[in-house]
Structure 1
Amino acid sequence: MKVKMLIAAAVAMLLLGGGASQAAPEKSKLTLGVGGKPLLYYLPLTIAERKGYFKEEGLDVTINDFGGGSKSLQALIGGSVDAVTGAYEHTIRMQQKGQDIRAVIELGRFPGIVLAVKKSHEGKVKTAADLKGMKIGVTAPGSSTNFFVDFLIAKAGGDPKASSYIGVGGGASGVAAMEKGEIDAISHLDPVISKLQADKAVFILADSRTEAGTKAIFGGSNPAAVLYLKEEFIQQNPQTVQALVNAFYKALKWIDKAKPQDVVATVPESYYLGDRALYEQAVQNSLETYSRTGIIPESGMKSAYNMLAQFDEALAKANIDLKKTFDDRFVKKVSK
């Protein structure tokens, strides 16, 4: 009788787990890097943390928030963090540099990045190429926000190297940099962009917060935030990676059904930039960007590569195997 009860309990746990890893994580205490945690680009991370999904998967995750995506990537390469929520493009650029970094779940299917220009330049700046000689704010040089504007400038026939890039961080500092006149344009994300729009400090030149906007810019989908790790870590700690993917998958499913008010009630008040109603609107503007499946489609991988190749001649000449940038085994397992 006891045996039957134990079996029934085990089956119930598996059903409730919804595909969660059956074995305990090899490494339960982890350090995860991110470049601008309050940004809506990284909302799935905050949801996984606040909803307790990491703990449900047997993980004790410490989150280190850096000034931008390039800095969290450096931390991964240097070994001070185990995993990163960052831009998919980094997996491509690192392969070019001989570093085997792989995404294991897609968090954002559209970048959600916006190129906005100081209001006083309206009429003068009509395309990204007109930013020549100007100061452009990005979360951090070498980050996805930097890549985005580099691509737009090159696409418009300009030279990305003819502009200056200023790291403004991932939160209120970006708003301050524009409103203090320290930059002429900004490539950034919500809620920063929505705040600048509300303050009538900028006009929008390119907007990838929606499917239509992303297609207009890239010609198709373009993966954004992902969870990526060193291939060596993935091979040595498959159950840990599975647990991480399970937690993020739960976050994506929660976001898919959430209303803006649900998100506002879940994140820390410090994310609001002092305006709860504005943050709620920013959430509404961004809900379309999040991945529905966690899977990066092949077309998305090619789109990301083509974006980088547009302005990076060395990468364009490199032999890049896109299949090695995304390991889909873990997300496929949890979605069964």
Structure 2
Amino acid sequence: MRTTVRRTALAAAGLLALASLTACANDAAGTASSGSGGDGKGTKVKIMVGGLDKVIYLPAMLTQRLGYFDAEGLSVELLSEPAGVQAETALVSGQVQGAVGFYDHTLDLQVKGKEVESVVQFSHAPGEVEVVSTERADDITSPKDFKGRKLGVTGLGSSTDFLTKYLAVKNGVDVSEFTPVAVGAGPTFISALQKGAIDGGMTTDPTVATVLDKGAGKILLDMRTPAGSEAALGGPYPSSSLYMQTDWVNGHKDTVQKLANAFVKTLKWMSTHSATEIADKMPADYSQGNKVLYASAIKSTLPMFTDDGVMPKNGPETVEKVLKAFNPTIKNADVDLSRTYTTEFVQKATG
């Protein structure tokens, strides 16, 4: 009887958690679709973002807030999932027409028989930071010390998972010798770090800024700049991007061009405005009550962004090298990098 009651209670708790997550997703979508005008007119496009409030994906919401989608005659609905791998799933299942997430998913999907390409490359560095808890800072001084550790990632199969595995293997630690733990970002990541559920982990701003502000952790590796990417990964690492299924791109070139126009305009705007000015354009709740800290987080991450949406030279090769180092599916596969991105639309947008 006691077991039955316990199972019933657990089931009820699960349903409650699911309802809460659904409500959060709906709230995010509602906030996004309201945009700066949000009259619902124009060509409708749904884009799933691997965390709308993450600074690495900031161009998605900023483009909405600046009114650039509206100006192109687009009615864009921005949806949010906590991890890029979930945005990828939404795209390939046809729930959305575009995804804002890491470029590396295009290589992974090609090997799995899915043709997906980056059409606007937001960045030339990962924007990721490996942090370690304050209590473990003396024990974990480089990725060589990952052995036996519990390391936080946004989700299993996510880009943070990919990069963590690469850093481990590059430094002599097998992927079987540490435990990746899916803890998301923001409050869930910070809580896991503070409670000892993870010894460290890979995350982005504004989570990084909050971790440092709370004294919950210290930076081990900083990949928010091209120089940081070069040091950790050996080259430019194109990360956040707008990627779409190739068949859809080829069948909707006019719409894709309008999206590229809007995003490139945003990237140019970002390159000529301060972090504080950018923060002022974002939804108020993104700062979590501390606008100064939020602006600081944006400032730390700004170097990762391109100003033209063009794929950085040798960037795809760096990503392939990283994935082949640990991913058995890609390691022995022939990846056609030319099919993982296109500059057709951004070249016209910048011309």
What TM-score results when the alignment is normalised by the length of structure 2? 0.85
Aligned pairs for 1:191-210 (under 5 A) are 191-210=206-225
Q: Distance in 1 between matches of 2:50 and 2:312?
A: 24
Q: Distance in 2 between matches of 1:64 and 1:161?
A: 34
Alpha-carbon shift at residue 129 of structure 1 (Å):
3.4
Q: Distance in 2 between matches of 1:28 and 1:162?
A: 49
Match of 2:65 among 34, 41, 50: 50
Aligned pairs for 1:1-336 (under 5 A) are 28-336=43-351
Alpha-carbon shift at residue 292 of structure 1 (Å):
1.9
Q: Distance in 2 between matches of 1:223 and 1:155?
A: 19
Q: Distance in 2 between matches of 1:164 and 1:56?
A: 47
Q: Distance in 1 between matches of 2:164 and 2:288?
A: 24
Alpha-carbon shift at residue 300 of structure 1 (Å):
0.6
Q: Distance in 1 between matches of 2:77 and 2:147?
A: 41
Alpha-carbon shift at residue 98 of structure 1 (Å):
0.9
Question: Which 4+ residue blocks in structure 1 deviate beyond 4 angstroms?
Answer: none
Q: Distance in 2 between matches of 1:81 and 1:163?
A: 35
Structure number with higher relative contact order (C-alpha < 8 Å, ≥ 6 residues apart): 1
**Could you list the runs of 5+ residues in structure 1 that have no partner in the other structure?**
1-26
**Could you list the runs of 5+ residues in structure 2 that have no partner in the other structure?**
1-41
* Residue deviations 1:121-169 (CA, integer Å, cap 9, x gap): 1221122232223222212111111111111101101012332222222
Q: Partner letter of residue 257 of structure 1?
A: T
Q: Partner letter of residue 150 of structure 2?
A: K
Please name the residue that 2:37 is paired with. Answer: none
What TM-score results when the alignment is normalised by the length of structure 1? 0.89
Q: Distance in 2 between matches of 1:330 and 1:167?
A: 35
Secondary structure of the 1:296 match is: coil
**Is contact 2:224-2:304 (8 Å) kept?**
yes
More deviation in 199-208 or 77-86?
199-208
Secondary structure of the 1:311 match is: coil
* Residue deviations 1:282-301 (CA, integer Å, cap 9, x gap): 11111111112211134011
Secondary structure of the 2:325 match is: helix
Aligned pairs, number:
310
**Is contact 2:50-2:80 (8 Å) kept?**
yes
Identity, % of aligned positions = 33
Q: Distance in 2 between matches of 1:49 and 1:174?
A: 27
Alpha-carbon shift at residue 313 of structure 1 (Å):
2.9
Secondary structure of the 1:327 match is: coil
Q: Distance in 1 between matches of 2:207 and 2:242?
A: 23
Secondary structure of the 1:229 match is: strand
Alpha-carbon shift at residue 308 of structure 1 (Å):
0.7
Q: Distance in 2 between matches of 1:103 and 1:162?
A: 33
More deviation in 194-203 or 175-184?
175-184
* Residue deviations 1:205-252 (CA, integer Å, cap 9, x gap): 211012221111112211010110001101111001111111111110
Q: Distance in 1 between matches of 2:272 and 2:199?
A: 38
